[in-house]
C-alpha cells in the first residue's frame, strides 16, 4: 500500500479539519482460537472546503459500506488503502463499516496468545501509519481530533484505552471522550489483563500485564508506581502544566516492537520490562527511564504534536532529555546520566557513523515510510545531548521558561521547529539561527581532544569532515593518575582550539576530554592515555568519567583506531573492580557481543574468551552474593566462558550463583551458549521448552535452536524465519538473533545469498516497523568477508528494496565494514 506523502498530507490539511471520531470495535470473538479478524465502525465528522474532494485512509480485510453525508459510496472506489470522498459539503460525516485483520507483527491491532495459559490479548500500536488497519481515518499527525470509542469484548476481558473505560454491560466498554489526539496515539488494550491500581494527585493510575505475569506485576508495581508518582510531581512543577489526559494506565503487552509507546492515558510497554527472574540495577534503571520518558511525551508529542515527521525530534529528543533529567532529580543520583552515556550515547554515535546519519531536525521525510527510518540514535540520543547544550547556551531558567511558553501556546495542537525556536528566543532574548544551523539542521559529530602542556590543557575541536559546522561546546577535561584526580577544567569551546590554565598538581597519566559527557562529541584519547588505560581505568573514581572512556573505546574500535586486543586487556583489569551497574552491563555486552563475536580474528578468540571469563569470574567472586553486580558477572561469564562443563552444570541447576536457582531466563542464556558451542541437542532444547511454557520460554527456545551449529538446524531455522509459518514479529527476531551466533562461518556462509534474497521478500507479509528489526537482526554480520559487503552492495544497487530493508542494509553493511577495517588494521 502507498505511504502517505507530505505533499498529500499538506493538501488534505488545507481542505479539511476533523472535528470528532466515534469508533466502535467488536472484539467479541477475540478469545477464540486462531481468530483473525474484528469488526470496525468509524463515524468521522469534519469540515471542508465546499465542493472539494479528498481521501480517507482504510486498510481493511473487507470494507462493507462507506456512507458520506447520507449517500453510500461505490466500494470499488477503495484502492490501495484509500477511498476518495467527492463533492464535500462545509460540514461532513463519513461512516465506514469494515472487517479488519488482527496483526502478528506488532502493528495495528496486534493479537497474541500466551502459551502459558492459552489466553489471548490484543493491543493497538497505531504508530506510525497503522491506524487505518484498525479504523477508517485521516491518518496524519496534524489532523488531531477527540475520540469516543466503544469496544465489545469477551465478558472476562478488561478494556483499556486513551479515555477512562467503563463497562456499561458485561462485554461492552465505553471509553470517555479524549482530548484532541493524532491518529497514531490511539490505542485499545483488551484481554484478561491482571491489574494494580492506585491514585496520585487526583490522577487514577493503573499498571497491567498478562495474567501469567500477575505475580511479577504485584511484586514490581510498587516500585514503578513510585517512579510514576514522583515523575508526575516533577513534571507538574517544571512545566507549570498539569497532566491533561485524565487517567494514566501503563500496560505491559506481549510482542511489542518498541520499548514503549506514549499513547495518551494508556502507555504501552514491552512486557519483558516485567522481570521473570533476577534483575540488575541497570535493568531496573532502564525501566524507570522508560517510564519517565513516556510520561514526558504527555507534554512533548501528545499535548503538542509535530506538524509532520521531519520534526520528530520535538517528540523524542525532549522525552529523552527530560527522562534523564527527571530521574536524576527524583532519585538524587547521577546514575541516569551514566546510563545515558553507556546505553544511549553509544547508540547515537553509532548512528552518526552510519551512512544514513541525518540532522537532528528537519531531516527530509517525503513520506511516512521514509520518516520511520529516522527513529534512531540521532533523534533520541543526539537530540537530547543537543538540548543539554542549549541549556548551557541559554541558561536553565530561560530554557524552562521557553519550554513552558511553547507548550502553553500550542496545547492540543501542532507545532514545528520554528515555533520552538521562537519560544526560546523570546525567553532568552537571543537569536538562535546560527546555533540551530550548527546543532539542529547539520549532521555530523565533532571530535574533542586534550593535551596537557606546561601549566595548561589544550582542548581541540576537530569538525566533522562530512558535514563541517561551527558548533560551540560546553566541555570539560579531567586528568587521573593512580586513582587521584589531578586536574579538572571546564571551557566554552567555540573555536577549534583553546588552552585552559591549570594549577600545579602533577601530570595526568590518563587525560579525558569531555569527561563529564557534557556535549555531543567523540572523545579522542591520546596514545599516551590509551597505553595506560588497562592499569589506570579501574582506579578512576568518577563513574561518569569511566563511562566516557568506555564509549570512547567503542568509537575508536569502530573506527579502527584501537586494537580490539586492547579492549580485552582493559576489560580484564578494569571490569573486575567496576561497581556501576550500567558500566558493568554495557561494557560486558561490548566485550562478549562485539569484540569476541566480531572484531577479533578467529585465532585470537579462544585466549580472549578465557581472559574475559576470568575477569567475569573475578567480579562474580568479589560481588555480594545475589547482588546486581553478581548477576551481571554471572551473565557475562555464561556468555564468555568456553567451559562447557560449567555451563552444563548451571543448565542442570548445579553450582549456580546465589539467587539464580530457578531463574528461567538465566537458564536460557546458558542453554543458548551451549547451543552455540554445539554442546546441547535440539531434543534437549525441546525438553527445556516443555518445562518453560511461557512466551519468553518459547522465544528463548527458538533463539537457542537457531544457534545450533548443524546444517539441518540452520536449514530448519532459516525456513522458520522466512517461510510461510505465520511467525510473529518476536518469533522472527528470536530466530534471527540465534542464527548467526558463534564463529561458524563455513556453515552459515551460504545464507549470505539467502538473506539478500529472502528478507526483502518479507515485505507485504511483515509491516515496515517489524521488517526493519528483522532485517537488522538477520543481517550476516558475523560472516566477516568482503563478499558479504559485496552482496549487500549488489542488493542496494538493484533499487528494489523497501525503505525499511534499505536502511537496515545500509547501516549493517556499514558496521560490517568497520569490522573489516579493524581486522585489516590489526590482523585477522
Residues annotated catalytic, as ranges:
294
Parallel, antiparallel, or unpaired for β 473-481 and 510-513?
Answer: antiparallel
> What is the DSSP code string of 599-649?
IS-GGGHHHHHHHHHHHHHHHHHHSPTTSHHHHHHHHHHHHH---HHHHHH
Three-state DSSP at 790 gives: helix
**Residue 199, C-alpha cell as written in the block:** 491514585
Contact 300, 315 (CB under 8 A): yes
> How far is the CA of 364 from the CAs of 247, 309, 368, 773, in angstroms?
36, 9, 11, 22
Q: How far is CA 750 from each of CA 359, 675, 744, 775, rounded to the nearest angstrom?
A: 38, 20, 11, 17
Question: What's the DSSP call for residue 342?
Answer: I
Distance CA 271, CA 123 (A): 12
Give 177's DSSP letter.
Answer: P
Buried b (16+ CB within 10 A) or exposed e, 670-704: bbbbbbbbeebebeebeebbeebebbbbbbbbbbb
Among 316, 183, 317, 194, which residue's Cα sits nearest to residue 249?
Answer: 194
How far apart CA 546 and CA 229 sit, in angstroms, is 32
Count CB-CB contacts under 10 A for residue 311.
Answer: 22
Q: What is the DSSP letter of 305?
A: E
Rounded distance, CA 39 to CA 24, Å? 8
Strands (E), 153-193: 158-161, 165-169, 172-175, 188-191
User: Could you tell me the CA-to-CA distances from 418 to 312, 385, 827 in Å, in that order?
Assistant: 13, 20, 50
Q: Check the CA dihedral 678-684-688-690 and report its sign.
A: positive
Residue 648: how many other CB atoms lie within 10 Å: 15
Q: Three-state SS for 11? A: helix
**Separation between Cα atoms, residue 54 and residue 68, nearest integer Å:** 12
Structural element, H or E, at residue 419: helix 417-428
* Nearby residues of 193 by Cβ (< 8 Å), 6 or more positions away: 121, 157, 158, 160, 208, 209, 210, 211, 251
Phi, psi dihedral angles at 110 (to 5 degrees): -85, 135
Nearest to 103 by CA among 78, 128, 124: 124
**Host H or E run for residue 733:** helix 729-739
DSSP-derived letter for residue 85 is E
Q: 272: Cβ–Cβ under 8 A, 6 or more apart, which residues?
A: 696
Q: What is the dihedral of CA 468, 318, 327, 211, to 10 degrees?
A: -120
| Grid cell locating 749 | 556462509
The backbone torsions φ and ψ at residue 254, rounded to the nearest 5 degrees and listed phi first, read: -80, 145
Q: Could you tell me the three cell numbers for 604?
A: 585470537
Backbone angles phi, psi at 119, to 5 degrees: -85, 140
Amino acid at each position: 500500500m502507498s505511504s502517505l506523502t507530505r505533499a498529500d498530507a499538506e493538501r488534505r490539511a488545507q481542505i479539511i479539519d476533523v472535528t470528532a471520531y466515534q469508533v466502535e470495535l467488536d472484539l467479541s470473538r477475540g478469545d477464540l482460537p486462531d481468530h483473525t479478524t474484528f469488526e470496525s465502525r468509524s463515524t468521522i465528522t469534519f469540515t471542508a472546503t465546499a465542493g472539494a474532494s479528498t481521501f480517507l485512509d482504510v486498510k481493511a480485510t473487507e470494507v462493507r459500506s462507506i456512507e458520506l453525508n447520507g449517500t453510500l459510496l461505490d466500494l470499488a472506489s477503495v484502492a490501495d488503502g484509500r477511498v476518495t470522498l467527492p463533492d464535500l459539503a462545509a460540514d461532513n460525516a463519513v461512516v465506514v463499516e469494515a472487517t479488519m485483520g488482527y496483526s502478528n507483527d506488532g502493528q495495528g491491532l496486534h493479537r497474541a496468545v500466551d502459551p502459558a495459559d492459552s489466553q489471548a490479548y490484543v493491543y493497538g500500536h497505531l504508530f506510525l501509519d497503522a491506524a487505518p488497519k484498525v479504523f477508517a481515518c485521516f491518518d496524519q499527525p496534524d489532523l488531531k481530533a477527540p475520540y469516543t470509542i466503544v469496544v465489545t469484548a469477551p465478558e472476562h476481558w478488561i478494556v483499556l484505552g486513551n479515555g477512562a473505560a467503563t463497562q456499561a454491560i458485561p462485554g461492552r466498554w465505553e471509553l470517555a471522550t479524549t482530548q484532541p489526539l493524532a491518529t497514531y496515539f490511539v490505542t485499545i488494550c483488551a484481554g484478561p489483563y491482571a491489574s494494580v491500581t492506585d491514585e496520585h494527585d487526583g490522577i487514577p493510575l493503573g499498571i497491567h500485564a498478562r495474567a501469567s505475569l500477575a505475580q511479577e506485576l504485584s511484586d514490581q508495581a510498587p516500585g514503578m508506581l513510585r517512579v510514576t508518582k514522583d515523575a508526575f510531581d516533577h513534571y507538574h512543577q517544571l512545566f507549570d502544566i498539569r497532566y491533561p489526559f485524565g487517567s494514566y494506565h501503563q500496560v505491559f503487552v506481549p510482542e511489542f516492537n518498541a520499548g514503549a509507546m506514549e499513547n495518551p492515558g494508556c502507555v504501552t510497554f514491552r512486557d519483558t520490562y516485567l522481570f521473570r527472574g533476577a534483575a540488575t540495577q541497570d535493568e531496573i534503571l532502564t525501566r524507570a527511564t522508560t517510564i519517565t520518558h513516556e510520561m514526558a511525551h504527555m507534554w512533548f508529542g501528545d499535548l503538542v504534536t509535530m506538524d509532520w515527521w521531519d520534526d520528530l525530534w520535538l517528540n523524542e529528543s525532549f522525552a529523552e532529555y527530560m527522562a534523564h533529567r527527571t530521574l536524576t532529580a527524583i532519585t538524587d543520583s547521577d546514575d541516569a546520566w551514566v546510563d545515558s552515556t553507556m546505553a544511549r550515547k553509544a547508540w547515537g554515535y553509532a548512528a552518526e557513523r552510519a551512512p544514513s546519519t541525518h540532522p537532528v531536525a528537519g531531516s527530509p521525510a517525503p513520506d511516512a515510510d521514509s520518516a520511520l527510518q529516522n527513529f534512531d540514535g540521532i533523534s533520541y540520543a543526539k537530540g537530547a545531548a543537543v538540548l543539554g547544550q542549549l541549556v548551557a547556551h541559554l541558561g536553565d531558567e530561560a530554557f524552562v521558561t521557553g519550554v513552558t511558553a511553547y507548550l502553553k501556546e500550542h496545547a492540543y495542537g501542532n507545532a514545528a521547529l520554528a515555533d520552538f525556536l521562537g519560544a526560546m528566543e523570546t525567553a532568552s532574548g537571543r537569536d538562535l539561527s546560527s546555533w540551530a544551523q550548527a546543532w539542529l539542521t547539520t549532521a555530523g559529530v565533532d571530535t574533542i581532544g586534550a593535551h596537557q602542556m606546561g601549566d595548561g590543557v589544550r582542548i581541540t575541536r576537530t569538525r566533522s569532515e562530512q558535514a563541517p559546522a561551527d558548533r560551540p561546546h560546553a566541555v570539560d577535561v579531567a586528568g587521573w593518575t593512580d586513582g587521584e584526580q589531578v586536574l579538572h577544567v571546564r571551557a566554552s569551546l567555540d573555536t577549534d582550539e583553546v588552552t585552559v590554565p591549570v594549577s600545579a598538581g602533577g601530570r595526568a597519566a590518563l587525560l579525558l576530554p569531555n569527561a563529564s559527557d557534557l556535549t555531543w562529541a567523540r572523545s579522542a584519547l591520546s596514545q599516551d592515555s590509551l597505553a595506560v588505560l588497562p592499569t589506570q581505568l579501574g582506579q578512576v573514581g568518577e563513574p561518569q568519567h569511566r563511562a566516557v572512556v568506555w564509549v570512547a573505546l567503542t568509537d575508536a574500535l569502530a573506527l579502527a583506531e584501537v586494537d580490539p586486543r586492547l579492549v580485552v586487556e582493559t576489560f580484564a583489569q578494569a571490569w573486575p573492580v567496576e561497581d556501576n551497574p550500567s558500566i558493568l552491563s554495557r561494557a560486558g555486552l561490548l566485550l562478549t557481543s562485539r569484540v569476541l563475536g566480531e572484531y577479533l580474528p578467529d585465532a585470537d578468540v579462544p585466549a580472549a574468551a578465557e581472559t574475559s571469563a576470568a575477569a567475569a569470574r573475578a567480579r562474580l567472586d568479589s560481588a555480594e552474593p545475589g547482588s546486581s553486580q553478581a548477576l551481571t558477572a554471572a551473565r557475562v561469564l555464561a556468555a564468555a566462558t568456553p567451559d562447557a562443563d560449567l555451563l552444563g552444570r548451571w543448565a542442570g541447576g548445579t553450582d549456580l550463583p546465589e539467587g539464580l536457582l530457578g531463574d528461567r531466563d538465566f537458564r536460557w542464556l546458558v542453554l543458548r551458549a551451549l547451543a552455540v558451542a554445539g554442546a546441547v541437542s535440539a531434543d534437549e532444547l525441546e525438553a527445556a521448552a516443555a518445562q518453560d511454557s511461557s512466551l519468553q520460554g518459547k522465544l528463548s527456545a527458538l533463539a537457542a535452536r537457531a544457534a545450533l551449529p548443524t546444517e539441518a538446524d540452520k536449514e530448519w531455522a532459516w525456513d522458520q524465519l522466512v517461510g510461510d509459518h505465520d511467525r510473529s514479529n518476536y518469533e522472527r527476531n528470536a530466530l534471527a538473533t540465534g542464527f548467526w551466533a558463534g564463529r561458524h562461518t563455513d556453515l552459515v556462509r551460504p545464507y549470505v545469498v539467502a538473506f539478500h534474497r529472502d528478507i526483502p521478500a518479507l515485505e507485504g507479509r511483515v509491516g515496515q516497523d517489524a521488517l526493519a528489526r528483522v532485517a537488522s537482526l538477520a543481517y550476516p554480520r558475523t560472516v566477516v568477508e568482503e563478499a558479504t559487503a559485496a552482496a549487500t552492495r549488489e542488493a542496494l544497487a538493484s533499487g528494489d528494496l523497501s525503505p525499511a530493508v534499505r536502511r537496515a542494509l545500509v547501516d549493517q553493511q556499514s558496521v560490517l565494514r568497520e569490522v573489516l577495517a579493524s581486522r585489516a588494521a590489526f590482523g585477522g
